[in-house]
Chains A and B, each alone.
Chain A
Amino acid sequence: MAVSVDEAVSTGPAPDHGPPARRLGGRGRSVVEIALLTVLAVVMLFPVLWMLETSIKENRDVYAIPAKFFDFAVTLQHYKDVFVAQGDGRTPVSVNFLNSVVVAGASTVLATVLGVPAAWAYSRFAVKAKKDQLFFILSTRFMPPVVVVIPIFLMYRQIGLYDNKLGLILIYTAFNVPFTIWMMKGFVDEVPAEYEDAAMLDGYTRLQAFWRYTLPLLVPGIAATAVFALIFSWNEFVFATFLTSSDSVRTAPPAIAGLIGGTTTDWGLVAAASVVFALPVLVFAYLVRKHLIAGVTLGAVRR
């Protein structure tokens, strides 16, 4: 690219937007860039839109060839089918959704209760081999689930936790604790230790200082961390599949995956169930968007 005129010279329409050193061809280039971004955004979002669309299409339009993008009959039948059984009562899937809420909720609470104090302790005290401990903690989160699930499966069969919600809650807690500790340690580090020192000069014990001065400041961080833990547990599939078998225990992900068994698949139903499943995640993710980078890197990267 050729060297061109400086910012100062081009007093055209360019300077009012953006980075310094607009080139003369800036406008044209900008248009190309916006077009490119638009195309990419459409490609990224199309599957999501298609899923939404499929979930409100009547069956004959779902399987239409060529695919119908706009002129289809709208129905909410699929959403009804997710929750209401043909004759009466609730569908198995609705029970699975409820199980998901219980399992994800309980494991998140447990992980928070265990993780936050640990994070605070790691942040404030000189713990022996602190760095190694923290590395070890994060390493456990990287274990391939398929590998961990083999001994866990055998273990659970022995102690009666197989096909038991408590079993799922425990393993999810174990997978969320490392994340909670890493994520929360970052938040605790941001709260000056001097607050506690000052409180202790006033005669409070360290514990009281933590409880009264630091903890209230950590609440937003705890909320964000908990939301991520909730999303991880909610989305988890491997443990849910291999550690449960009955519909009364099974969570939503394996249940939704189970909808495609058999010879014919009701894709409208699958789409509706997927939307119901994914919507809370998207809402929650939107709420914690400020902490998204730390969240998705398990608290390792913070900006």
Chain B
Amino acid sequence: MKDPAPLTTDHPGQVVSVTPPAPGRSRRLSDRWLAVTFISPAMLLLLGMSVFPLLWALYLSFTDYSATRGGPANFIGFGNYTAILTSAQVHTRALTTLIYVVGAVGLQTVLGFGIAYLISRRTRGRGALTTLFLVPMMLSPVVVGLFWRFMLDAQFGVVNSMLGSVGLGQVEWLTRQRTALVSLIVVDTWQWTPFIMLIALAGLTAVPKYLYEAASIDRASEWFRFRTITLPLVWPLLLIAVMFRAIEAFRLFDLVYILTSGGPGVSTETLSFHIYKVAFLGFNSGTASAYGILMVLVVIVLTQFYLRYLNKLKED
């Protein structure tokens, strides 16, 4: 890399005729230099904005630091961690999060795969249909949360209005403990079913047609074909989508914040939302950091599973 060459030659006609300098001393060396200069800026940013903050959080998690009280941070060892792991409050939030993740991701998977299956059986209008179904997924959680809050309003919400017009009773969607969590699951399902659908559809359309043809020559039943051809071939890709959604759902915050603010009571408080309350309403930065680190650990484990699996799939 002796030559800090002009990056653009503005005369494309010249390109061929230019006789460039003889190849540099060691190509290997210049490649390594290039790789380092190209990768390190991005890496530095990630180290500064992701890793360093996490390390700071890790440090804070062993102290009793409070963002408002200020003052020195006293080292208190694993105090924060034991407090969190033994707190009944946290256990409740963990259970809420679990119900939410399993409920929402489960529903999305079934619905998303169902829709994808139905679409894959159509020959015309597939593209248009897919595009229509994908709209909810592209919306910001803010828009989704706000709008469903309006639609689920007990008094003038359109959902209750429709229920009323078919003679069903009114439901206090967001103001009852049970229904609030159900509402959260429903709204998340509405937004993210398209995600599963999109990936399932990619899997379904990739199934080679000749397999079905062979099966139908063998007079295999529809269910048999579905079970022995469709499902095994789509399953790996579907699992990717499900794991991805599970990680996302586990860290869900914005929808809760806007749709229910964790209420009524604490019935829809997920772990993420609880951390926010501890950190920004309780101002226990130390405790919140420990809480966050524990959550990060879970996410890291889940992500590792996800990436390993992804990698295995890619290598096949």
What is the interface of chain A, defined by CB distance below 8 A to chain B? 1-3, 6-7, 17-21, 23, 33-34, 36-37, 40-41, 44-45, 47-48, 50-51, 54, 62-67, 114-115, 117-118, 120-122, 124-125, 127, 131, 133, 135, 137-140, 142-148, 150-155, 170-171, 173-174, 177-178, 181, 200, 202-208, 211-212, 231, 234-235, 237-238, 241-242, 253-254, 256-257, 259-260, 267, 270-271, 274, 277-278, 281-282, 285-286, 289, 292-293, 296-297, 300-301, 303
How far does the Cβ of A286 sit from chain B's closest Cβ, in whole Å? 7
Q: Once bound together, how far apart are the Cα atoms of A64 and B165, in whole Å? A: 13
Q: Once bound together, how far apart are the Cα atoms of A303 and B203, in whole Å? A: 9
Chain A residue with the shortest CB-CB distance to B203: A303
Partner of B24, one of A122, A205, A281, A292: A205
Q: Within 8 Å CB of A200, what residues of B? A: 23, 27
- With A139-B303, A145-B253, A151-B57 known to touch, is A66 a contact of B161 (CB < 8 Å)? yes
| Contact A146 B292, beta carbon cutoff 8 Å | yes
Q: Within 8 Å CB of A64, what residues of B? A: 156
23 example contacts (A-B, Cβ-Cβ < 8 A) are as follows A20-B209, A33-B118, A37-B129, A40-B111, A40-B133, A44-B133, A117-B42, A139-B300, A144-B272, A150-B57, A151-B57, A173-B45, A173-B49, A231-B138, A235-B139, A237-B142, A237-B254, A274-B143, A278-B139, A289-B131, A292-B134, A293-B198, A300-B244
Partner of A237, one of B1, B140, B148, B285: B140
What is the interface of chain B, defined by CB distance below 8 A to chain A? 1, 3, 5, 7-9, 15, 19-24, 27, 30-32, 34-35, 38-39, 41-43, 45-46, 48-54, 56-57, 60, 67, 111, 115, 118-119, 121-124, 129, 131-143, 145-151, 155-156, 158, 161-162, 164-165, 190, 193-195, 198-199, 202, 206, 209, 212-213, 215-217, 219-223, 237, 240-241, 244, 247, 250-251, 253-254, 257-258, 272-273, 275-276, 279-280, 285, 288-289, 292-293, 295-296, 299-300, 302-304, 307, 310-311
- With A47-B151, A253-B142 known to touch, is A144 a contact of B244 (CB < 8 Å)? no
Chain A residue with the shortest CB-CB distance to B130: A289
Chain A residue with the shortest CB-CB distance to B4: A207
Q: Once bound together, how far apart are the Cα atoms of A24 and B213, in whole Å? A: 16
| Contact B199 A177, beta carbon cutoff 8 Å | no
Q: Within 8 Å CB of A6, what residues of B? A: 216-217, 219
| Contact B285 A154, beta carbon cutoff 8 Å | yes
Chain A residue with the shortest CB-CB distance to B310: A300
User: Binding site of B, secondary structure by majority: helix, strand, loop or mixed?
Assistant: helix
| Contact B50 A211, beta carbon cutoff 8 Å | no
Beyond contacts A131-B311, A144-B272, A274-B142: 17 other A-B pairs, Cβ-Cβ < 8 A, are: A7-B216, A67-B158, A118-B38, A127-B39, A139-B303, A144-B275, A145-B251, A151-B53, A207-B5, A235-B139, A253-B142, A256-B146, A271-B150, A277-B143, A297-B240, A301-B202, A303-B202
| Contact B156 A65, beta carbon cutoff 8 Å | yes
Q: Within 8 Å CB of A177, what residues of B? A: 42, 45-46
| Contact A117 B133, beta carbon cutoff 8 Å | no
Q: Within 8 Å CB of B219, what residues of A? A: 3, 6
Q: Within 8 Å CB of B272, what residues of A? A: 144, 146-147
How far does the Cβ of B116 sit from chain A's closest Cβ, in whole Å? 11
| Contact A146 B223, beta carbon cutoff 8 Å | no
Q: Once bound together, how far apart are the Cα atoms of A51 and B45, in whole Å? A: 39
Q: Within 8 Å CB of B198, what residues of A? A: 292-293, 296
| Contact B53 A21, beta carbon cutoff 8 Å | no
Q: Once bound together, how far apart are the Cα atoms of A3 and B111, in whole Å? A: 27
Chain A residue with the shortest CB-CB distance to B220: A3
